[in-house]
Amino acid sequence: MARMGARISSTSLTAPLTRTARTSSAWISRWSHGAHRNQVALNIMAKQRACFSTAITTYHANHSSTASNGTQQPSAGNPIDTVNKDEIAKFSAMSDEWWAPQGPFKMLHLMNPPRIRYIRNRLEASGAVSRSMGQNNDGRFPLQGLRILDVGCGGGLLTEALARLGAHVTGLDASIENIQMARIHAKKDPLLNGGAPGSLEYRHQTAEQLLEQGLEFDVVCSMEVIEHVENPAGFLKVLGQLLKPDGDLILSTISRTPFAYFVTIFCAEHLMRMVPVGTHHWSKFINPEELQAGVQDLAKCQVLNIQGIGFNPLSGQWELMKSRDGTTAGDTGLLTLLGPPVAESANYFLAAKKISSP
């Protein structure tokens, strides 16, 4: 009995150590494999630099014709198609997880508050908020009266937040699974069902399909979307056409820099598994100067602000960094001390206003 007791005690002591060793070995193997794969990717970065300016050139080549006087004219023979079916399928497969705070969209849940702060700040700066403030607006609904379009709304994280602030919001997504989940979740909040001055509508459509209906909006938002579409240049063109004269365009995406690759793909996807592997493609990231040129050339909007946003691992929160004009939209975190170009080396926002025709 004593020998059996000793044998049982020995097994119970060594089993956890064995399991720990196996777990550590598996983690090291996975990390080493991921590190090797990412090192290979880093080695070919210089060859892969698919520039957004090339996409603009390609767009013009495919959607214009040369008139008799030598000038380029728009062509009606090449309709714009921005849908990437692989990207739609990828996000459709995760549609049930949109409203899980600890799920694959955890980082978007954490990003939503600073996104709202940025949007409110820019709409106030552009005068859109002051124009929408009526006699019956007591300040609780600062976006009351504004018609806002959220393109690529997913499960409605941003869409719902904008509607709660009093706006009339249309959420647009090419995935029917995402739209169904967004509609189900919206039914749970009384504020979104007649309890506030705003309204909320979800549509299973692409931006170009909505454009065909002749609709225009005061504000068009598309956050963390342009790096997932098939035709980013054509996408910008459509967004600009969906805006009313003097309307506001607000975008967010990721810079195509080695630092952005390190934090969004190597760390967030492969090392820390904060987002699903394969969520991002470095070659589809867009640098601020490229996006600014595209917004001005294709969307016909004047860029008013570019501002970086970073994830602070110490606080576990996203923080707005200094913009090019020195503002931080009220954020007070550690990352607010950083300004351009460091602040724009990964995730960033851009705000622009549609240029009125003379």
Please report the pLDDT score of residue 171 as a whole number. 98
Q: Is 208 labelled a binding residue?
A: no
pLDDT tens-digit map of 202-221? 999 999 999 999 999 999 99
Cis peptide bond prior to 288, omega within 30° of 0: no
Residues 338/346, Cβ–Cβ less than 8 Å: no
- Domain membership of residue 133 (yes or no) is yes
Mean pLDDT of the chain: 83
| Residue 173 is labelled as binding a ligand | yes
Q: Which residues, 6 or more positions from 64, have their beta carbon under 8 angstroms from its beta carbon?
A: 72, 73, 74, 75
What confidence score (pLDDT) does residue 222 get?
98
* Share in percent of the chain as helix, strand, coil (round to 5): 45, 20, 35
Mean pLDDT is lowest, of 34-38, 118-122, 132-136, 180-184, for 34-38
**Sequence-distant (≥ 6) Cβ neighbours of residue 349 within 8 angstroms:** 115, 118, 250, 251, 252, 305, 306, 307, 308, 309
Burial of 195 (0-12, 13-18, 19+ CB in 10 A): exposed
Tell whether 37 is in a known binding site.
no
Residue 40 lies in a domain: no
Better-scored residue on pLDDT, 150 or 326: 150
Question: pTM of the prediction?
Answer: 0.80
Q: Is residue 126 part of a domain?
A: yes
Q: What CATH number should be reported for the domain holding residue 326? A: 3.40.50.150
Q: Is 107 annotated as a binding residue?
A: no
What pLDDT, on the 0 to 100 scale, is given for residue 337? 84
Residue 23 has pLDDT above 70, yes or no: no
Residue 31 has pLDDT above 50, yes or no: no
DSSP string, 152-191: T-TTTHHHHHHHHTT-EEEEEES-HHHHHHHHHHHTT-GG
Q: Does residue 45 belong to any structural domain of this protein? A: no
Q: Is the pLDDT of residue 138 over 90?
A: no
- Structure confidence at residue 355 (pLDDT): 86
Domain holding 90, by residue range, is 50-64+72-354
Q: Is residue 12 domain-resident?
A: no
* Amino acid 339: pLDDT: 86
**281 annotated as ligand-binding:** no
pLDDT band, residue 327 (cuts 50/70/90) = confident
Q: Encoding tokens for residue 179?
A: 């739209």
pLDDT value of residue 258: 95
Output 92 or 137, whichever has higher pLDDT. 92
Q: Would you say residue 84 has pLDDT above 80?
A: yes
Q: Which pLDDT score is estimated for 324?
A: 84
- 204 assigned binding-site residue: no
Residue 189 included in any domain: yes
Residue 58 pLDDT level (bands cut at 50, 70, 90) = low
pLDDT tens, 291-302? Answer: 999 999 999 999
Residue 107 pLDDT:
95
Selected residue with higher pLDDT from 17 and 234: 234
Residue 56 lies in a domain: yes
**Mean pLDDT, range 154-176, rounded to an integer:** 97
What pLDDT shows up at residue 158?
Answer: 98
Of 41-45, 109-113, 273-277, give the lowest mean pLDDT range: 41-45
Average confidence (pLDDT) over 159-177: 96
* CB-CB neighbours of 265 under 10 Å: 22
- Spatial distance between the Cα atoms of 193 and 82, rounded to a whole number of angstroms: 32
What whole-number distance in Å separates Cα of residue 150 and Cα of residue 160? 10
> What gap in Å lies between CA 74 and CA 61, rounded to an integer?
10
**Percentage of the chain modeled with pLDDT above 70:** 75
Residue 188 has pLDDT above 70, yes or no: yes
Our count of domains for the chain comes to 1
Q: Binding residue per annotation — 227?
A: yes
- Quick check: is 8 in a domain? no
**What is the model's pLDDT at position 53?**
57
The rounded distance, in Å, linking the Cα atoms of 177 and 342 is 37
Winning range, highest mean pLDDT, from 81-85, 256-260, 341-345: 256-260
